[in-house]
Amino acid sequence: MFKKLIDNSAAKSPWLFHINAGSCNGCDIELVALLTPRYDVERLGFKLAGTPRHADIVVVTGPVTAQSKDRVLRTIAQVPDPKVIVTLGSCPRSCNVFRGSYSVVGPLDKYVPIDVSIAGCTPKPEAIIDGLALATQILKEKRGAK
């Protein structure tokens, strides 16, 4: 009975899960800046989830280090389908300046398909809002297809 209501509400409020795959912390700080009163993405329905099992959108930062690879993949696998994988910054997309390092096994698209990539080093918070808006749209498309 309430299924339609719940679906409509869930479509407007996607929950984020943030994974740090060996990032320099720049992108992580910008993502946290989004939750501060200045940008306040919670007014748009986004919310940081505490566990991957509650999330709709996975935000990955960092070039995927050898230590973090297994954990990243295990965490992404725990996110229920349909999910959207967003890469924040240049690192998960291409490893950036860390490419060729002995401890880096990325980029992320070797292991999982990337739905949205936000370029920048680090991206401006406004650009991250744009990326999350696109991710919400993709999530809606995926739910419609399901």
Partner 1 sequence: MLPFIKEAVTGLFSKPSTEAYPFKPVDAPAGYRGRIVFHADQCISCGMCERVCAGGAISTRSEETEEGTLITRRFFLGSCTFCGHCAAFCVKHAIELSPDYHMVARTEEELVVEGTYLKKKPAKKAEAAACGNAVEGESSVKPREDGLPVNDPAKCVYCTLCAKKCPAGALTVDRKEKTWVLDEDKCVACGTCAGICPKKAIIM
Q: In terms of CB distance, is 78 or 125 closer to partner 1?
A: 125
Nearest one of 56, 79, 40 to 135, comparing CA atoms: 56
Write the interaction track for partner 1 spanning residues 45-84; mark x where CB under 8 A is met and - where it is not. Answer: ----------------------------------------
110-129: which residues touch partner 1 (CB under 8 A)?
115-121, 123-127, 129
Q: What angle, rounded to 10 degrees, do the helices at 3-12 and 125-145 form?
A: 150
> Binder to partner 1 among 90, 108, 136, 139 (CB under 8 A)?
90
Strand residues in 62-143 grouped as ranges (E): 84-88, 116-118
User: What is the SS3 assignment for 77?
Assistant: helix
> Binder to partner 1 among 11, 44, 73, 112 (CB under 8 A)?
44
- CA–CA separation, 134 vs 37, rounded Å? 22
> Binder to partner 1 among 37, 81, 145, 146 (CB under 8 A)?
37
Residues 6 or more apart whose Cβ sits within 8 Å of residue 50? none
Residues in contact with partner 1 by CB under 8 A are 37-40, 43-44, 90, 93-97, 99, 115-121, 123-127, 129-131, 133-134, 138
